[in-house]
Chain A
Amino acid sequence: MKMTRETLDGVLVLRLSGQLMGGPDADAVREAIQEALRQGGRKILFDLGELTWVNSTGLGILISAHINASNLGGKVGLARVSRRIESILAVTRLDTVFQAFADEETALRALAS
C-alpha cells in the first residue's frame, strides 16, 4: 500500500494505492489520521481510486478513522470506490456508514460544507 496526503479546503485527503490490509504500511495511514486530528483537522477524505482491494483489517482502519473523527465532530468520506471495495462495504453494511463520492471534487464540496 502506498499513500500520499494533501490538505485541500480544510480536508485531509489520503490517496491510497495497492491494497489496504493491515500490514506495516497501514500504520502510516493510522498515524496520518491521528496526526491530522491532533492538529485540529476534522475532515478526512480517502481517495480509493487506486486501491485494488481492502480486507477486514483494512476496513477496521477506515472505521477507526470514522469513529475518531466523528467523536470530535468531524466527517470521513470515501471517493472513487471500486466495484470490489463497494462489494465488501455492501456485505458489511458499511456502505450505510460511509459517504461515498464519485470523485474528489464532489467529495470536497460535500465535506467542506
Chain B
Amino acid sequence: MIPPDADTFLAGDPGRSVLLTIPSRMEMLAVVDGLVQAIVSQLNLDEDTAIAVATSVVEAGTNAIQHGHGHEEGRPVHFRFFLGDDALEVWVHDTGPGFNPDAVLAADPTGPEDIFKARGRGIFIMRSLMDAVEFELGTRAGTTVHLVKRLGPGNGSSAVAGT
C-alpha cells in the first residue's frame, strides 16, 4: 500500500531508494532492523554509525506504531531509505495525528526528574544519534519523520555508487 502523500514520500531517485511497509505490530520492528542492517552493510558504515542509524529508525518505527497508530495493526507504517552519496536519509510515515512538537522537543529525559520515567525517550534518542531529524506534523496524511545521517570519511557508499 502506498501512503496517502505518495508523491512526497516517493520523491527522489528510485534507483537509490528502498521501500518497506509493515503492519503496526512491535515485533515487526525486527523486520525493519533486518533491512537497516542490510543497508548499513551495503554502505560499509562503521559500527557506531550503523548502530546510530538502526537505533534511530527502530525508534521512529516505535513511535509510529505506539503513538501514531495506537498499536492498530491494520494501519501500515511506511519506511523509505534513500542511499545518497553523502548521506543516508530515512523517512518514516504513519497516519496518526502527530504530537505537540514544542513539548516533545523541549523534553530532556536525562534530567534528574525525568530519567526514571518509563516513557518519553524516543525522539530524544533520534535527535542524539542522527545528524538531522525533521517532522512533518499535522497534515491530513499523517506524520512523517525524516532522519539524516551524513556519510563522512570511512563511511563510504561505494556499494551503491558502484565505484
A interface residues (Cβ-Cβ under 8 A, vs B): 18-19, 21-26, 52-53, 55-57, 59-61, 63-64, 66-67, 83-84, 87-88, 91-94, 96-97
Which A residues touch B109, using CB under 8 A?
92
Q: Categorize the interface residue count of chain B.
A: 20 to 34
Query: In the complex the two chains form, is B51's CB within 8 Å of A19's CB?
Result: no
Task: Give the A-binding residues of B (Cβ under 8 A).
Answer: 25-27, 29-30, 33, 47-48, 51-52, 54-55, 58-59, 62, 66, 109-110, 115-119, 121-122, 124-125, 128-129
Once bound together, how far apart are the Cα atoms of A37 and B118, in whole Å? 18
CB-CB under 8 A for A84 and B55, given A19-B33, A92-B110, A92-B121: yes
Q: Assess the B26–A21 pair: CB atoms within 8 A.
A: yes
Main secondary structure of the interface of A (DSSP, over half): helix
Report if A91-B116 is in contact (Cβ < 8 Å); known contacts: A55-B62, A84-B51: no
A67 touches B29 (CB 8 A): no
Interface of B is mostly: helix
Shortest CB distance B61–A (Å): 8
- Docked complex Cα distance between A94 and B111 (Å): 11
A53 touches B27 (CB 8 A): no
- Collect the chain A residues with CB atoms within 8 Å of residue B129's CB: 91
Q: Is the CB of A55 within 8 A of B128?
A: no
Residues of A within 8 A of B117 (CB): 63
